[in-house]
C-alpha cells in the first residue's frame, strides 16, 4: 500500500525526564518526501521554549540538577547559563502554536480541507515512550484533539519509531550493544558533534529513517509475500 503522507521526523528536548510532567525547551522537525525518500528542502523547523515551571515562577529552582547539567554539557556552558537562556525563550504557547502551524503546511492536498487524516506521519527515535506522550498531553492542553480526545496533529494510523526498526534488524546481532541514538551514531559512523540538540537529532534520525525505508523498499520488491502461507 503506497504511502502519500509526508513523514515528519521530530524531536523534543525537555526540562525533565518524565513525559507526564516535563516541558519542551526545544522542538525540532524535518519533513521527508514519501516518494523520493529524501528530506524536503527548506522543511527544517526549530524553536526554543521557556519551560512551564519558569513561566509560572521565574525564580523556580530545579531540584533535579542532572537535567540542567545535561543541557549545560550539551551546550558547553554552565547550568546557570542554561537557566538564563531558558528565561528568554518563546512561551510554551507560542512555541506550540508555531509547531502546529508548521505541521499544517505539510498536509495532503488542499490544506483548506485538512484533517487528521491528511496530516503528516509522526516519526522519530523512541517517540512512543517519550515524545508522543508529551505531544498528546500538550494537544489536550491547547485544544488540538480529535473526537476521542487524543492528539490530532499526526496521521492516526501510521507512526515510524526508529528504535523499533533498529530492534527488528539487530535483535540477533551482538555487534550492537544498546539501542541509544548515540550508540547508533558510533556504530554507523555518523558525526556525533552537536548530539542532543533537537535539530541535530532530527537530521540524524531522518537519515536513518530514509536509509532503512530505502532498504525495505529494495528488499520487499524482491520478496513474494502474497500467498506465502499457502501450502505448496
What CATH number should be reported for the domain holding residue 76? Answer: 3.30.420.10
In a domain, 226, yes or no: no
Look up residue 59 and give its three cell numbers.
525564580
The pLDDT value given to residue 198: 95
At 2, is the pLDDT very low, low, confident or very high (cuts 50, 70, 90)?
Answer: confident
Residues 210 and 37: beta-carbon distance below 8 Å: yes
In a domain, 24, yes or no: yes
**Separation of alpha carbons 172 and 175, rounded Å:** 9
Look up residue 178 and give its three cell numbers.
544498546
pLDDT in tens, 50-90: 999 999 999 998 887 788 999 999 999 999 999 999 999 99
The pLDDT value given to residue 114: 81
**Separation of alpha carbons 70 and 210, rounded Å:** 29
> Nearest 5 degrees, angle CA 23-CA 28-CA 29?
130
Given a cut of 70, whether residue 112 has pLDDT beyond it is: no
pLDDT in tens, 167-223: 999 999 889 889 999 999 999 999 999 889 999 999 999 999 999 999 999 999 999
Given a cut of 70, whether residue 10 has pLDDT beyond it is: yes
Phi-psi region of 13 (alpha: psi -120 to 50; beta: other; left: phi over 0): beta
The pLDDT value given to residue 148: 85
pTM of the predicted model, to two decimals? 0.94
Residues 159 and 127: beta-carbon distance below 8 Å: yes
pLDDT in tens, 116-136: 999 999 999 999 999 999 999
For the chain, what is the domain count?
1
Q: Which domain covers residue 143, as residue numbers? A: 7-220
In a domain, 174, yes or no: yes
Given a cut of 70, whether residue 111 has pLDDT beyond it is: no
In a domain, 232, yes or no: no
The pLDDT value given to residue 41: 97
In a domain, 231, yes or no: no
In a domain, 166, yes or no: yes
In a domain, 87, yes or no: yes
In a domain, 139, yes or no: yes
Amino acid at each position: 500500500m503506497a504511502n502519500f503522507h509526508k513523514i515528519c521526523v521530530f524531536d523534543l528536548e525537555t526540562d525533565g525526564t518524565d513525559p507526564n510532567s516535563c516541558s519542551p525547551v526545544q522542538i525540532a522537525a524535518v519533513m521527508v518526501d514519501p516518494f523520493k525518500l529524501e528530506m524536503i528542502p527548506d522543511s527544517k523547523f526549530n524553536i526554543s521554549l521557556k519551560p512551564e515551571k519558569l513561566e509560572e515562577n521565574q525564580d523556580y529552582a530545579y531540584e533535579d540538577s542532572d537535567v540542567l547539567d545535561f543541557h549545560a554539557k550539551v551546550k558547553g556552558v554552565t547550568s546557570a547559563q542554561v537557566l538564563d537562556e531558558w528565561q528568554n525563550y518563546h512561551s510554551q504557547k507560542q512555541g506550540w502554536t508555531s509547531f502546529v502551524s508548521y505541521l499544517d503546511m505539510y498536509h495532503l492536498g488542499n490544506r483548506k480541507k485538512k484533517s487528521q487524516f491528511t496530516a503528516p506521519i509522526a516519526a522519530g527515535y523512541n517517540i512512543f515512550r517519550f515524545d508522543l506522550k508529551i505531544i498528546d498531553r500538550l494537544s489536550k492542553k491547547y485544544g488540538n484533539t480529535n473526537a476521542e480526545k487524543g492528539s490530532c496533529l499526526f496521521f492516526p494510523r501510521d507512526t515510524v519509531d526508529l528504535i523499533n526498526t533498529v530492534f527488528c534488524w539487530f535483535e540477533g546481532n551482538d555487534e550492537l550493544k544498546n539501542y541509544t541514538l548515540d550508540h547508533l551514531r558510533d556504530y554507523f559512523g555518523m558525526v556525533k558533534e552537536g548530539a542532543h540538540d533537537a535539530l541535530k537529532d532530527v537530521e540524524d534520525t531522518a537519515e536513518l529513517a530514509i536509509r532503512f525505508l530505502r532498504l525495505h523498499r529494495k528488499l520487499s520488491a524482491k520478496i513474494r509475500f502474497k500467498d506465502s502461507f499457502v501450502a505448496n
